[in-house]
Amino acid sequence: MSIRLVLADDHPIFLDGLVQLCSMERDFEVVARAATGQEALEAVRQLKPDILVLDLRMPGFDGFAVLRQMKREELSTRSVVLTALDNGQGLEALRLGARGVVLKDMAPRLLVQCLRTVHAGKPWVEKGVATHAAETLLKREAGIRVMAEVLTPREIEIAQLIASGHSSKVVANELAISEGTAKLHLHHIYEKLNLDGRVGLMRYMQSQGFN
């Protein structure tokens, strides 16, 4: 049986390359391609592929949002994420349920190997990503302990989403709260951490291992 794939990347040239690479493998079948996170999510819902190959950084509804929604809906499709560099993104993707993390500058054969490994039910994480993930995890755990002394669990959750680059509107949608409530939480976070706004919060979160 073939491995049914949905490929998602907002860069047309890179997406074309992915399609060509996967089309060369006899056991791969590309059932859909997507240029946005929303398109990727709809394809997964409708086509139920074995694996979604997903670029993490897409405008608007990005790869992280797709992973969160797939986890929320308990979709059975496994996810392999692509990232240009790992600055904690791989760890976050794994936390959200991704089964594989591949750096975009790695050899194409490694992506092919990754897809077969994930389809077989095993995780795949590049060695460099795994090392960085372990270091980042320890740093984040220490950071969360510090934040927990002054912030509520909901405020920590919002701070983490802001650190991922999400707007107040996206944060509200992710947490099923109003945008006004999200902004009120942010105001409390700024006050408690003595920060001057969103930029200050993002810098603070980066210092705690969140990117």
211 residues of the chain, pLDDT tens digit each = 799 999 999 999 999 999 999 999 999 999 999 999 999 999 999 999 999 999 988 888 889 999 999 999 999 999 999 887 656 677 778 888 899 988 887 778 889 999 999 999 998 887 666 555 555 655 667 777 878 888 999 999 999 888 888 889 989 988 889 999 999 999 999 999 999 898 999 888 888 777 6
Cα-based distances in Å from 176 to 23, 122, 158, 171, 179: 39, 33, 12, 8, 9
Residue 103 has what pLDDT?
84
| CA-closest candidate to residue 52, choices 116, 89, 98 | 98
d(CA 89, CA 84): 10
Prediction pTM value? 0.65
Total Cβ atoms within 10 A of residue 127: 7
Residue 135 has what pLDDT?
56
Is the dihedral angle over the CA atoms 43, 109, 25, 27 positive or is it negative?
negative
Model pLDDT for residues 10-56, shown as the tens digit of each residue: 999 999 999 999 999 999 999 999 999 999 999 999 999 999 999 98
Residue 119 has what pLDDT?
96
Residue 211 has what pLDDT?
62
Residue 89 has what pLDDT?
76
Residue 178 has what pLDDT?
93
Residue 108 has what pLDDT?
87
